Amino acid sequence: MSHLAVQWVALKTIVTKEVRRFTRIWQQTLVPPAITMTLYFVIFGNLIGSRIGEMGGVDYMSFIVPGLIMMSVITNAYGNVASSFFSNKFQRSVEELMVAPVHPATILLGFVAGGVVRGVMVGIIVTLLSLYFTDLSIHHPGVVIGIVLLSAVLFSLGGFINGVHARKFDDISIVPTFIITPLTYLGGVFYSISLLPEHWQWVSQLNPILYMVNTFRYGILGVSDVGVVFSFLMMGVFIVILSAYSLWLLKRGTGMRQ
């Protein structure tokens, strides 16, 4: 077999393994996010939203739905890769990949693709559930698809880096708990940053999740607190940086050759 054929077979094998891993335990990987988001819809959308009325020129339920969908995509894409790669390290099966004739880029792409698939699947499930609570009409389909895929890729790369550096299972929960969750709640999911004082608006603009949420909201509702083009450029830069760093970690064997 040619070198490219070998890499293609390896890529398909890694992606298939990753997808089967989380679909086999769908009760733990797909159902809990759906239940959590449904509670958000009921509590924040129906109960609190009925008192708030409108936000950003649309009813509050419609306003928070895009943010909650994006929240489910990024958390599941991140968590899938972080837990999967660390499990491979823990079981020492990653050592077989390291000595096999598989390029580091193929390994990275395989794990990232698995995270993207899970993130997108959960996003679709949450979107379907949201239709029970509100009517969604997509204003810019290209923006919606593009931002979802880029966000899933970006956080899958973040999850991979977390999985590489993690030394024990508890380590893969530190970043989601102390970084991703706070940034998500402060990323304009439940409010428009135009409501904040000018100083805090500037601080909020340092939060990368704000750009993902608002760009996705623009694709769904046609309203956004940030520049859409800038959001895509920023995400592209972050993806390039994290990809380069991830490949460097793989080539060095950081955290894998112990």
What is the chain's pLDDT, residue by residue, as a tens digit (258 residues)?
677 888 899 999 999 999 999 999 999 999 999 999 989 888 877 777 667 777 767 888 888 899 999 999 999 999 999 999 998 888 888 778 878 888 999 999 999 999 999 999 999 999 999 988 888 888 899 999 999 999 999 999 999 999 999 888 888 888 888 889 888 888 888 888 888 888 888 888 888 999 999 999 999 988 888 889 999 999 999 999 999 999 999 988 877 755
The answer to whether 210 and 225 are in contact (CB under 8 A) is: yes
Task: Identify which of 92, 95, 91 has the alpha carbon closest to the alpha carbon of residue 107.
Answer: 95
Q: Give the angle 151-84-185 at the CA atoms, nearest 5°.
A: 40
Q: Which are the contacts of 106, defined by CB distance < 8 A and separation ≥ 6?
A: 7, 10, 11, 14
Q: Give the angle 173-171-38 at the CA atoms, nearest 5°.
A: 10
Domain ranges in the chain are 3-252
The answer to whether 184 and 75 are in contact (CB under 8 A) is: yes
Q: Which residue has the tokens 């990275």?
A: 108
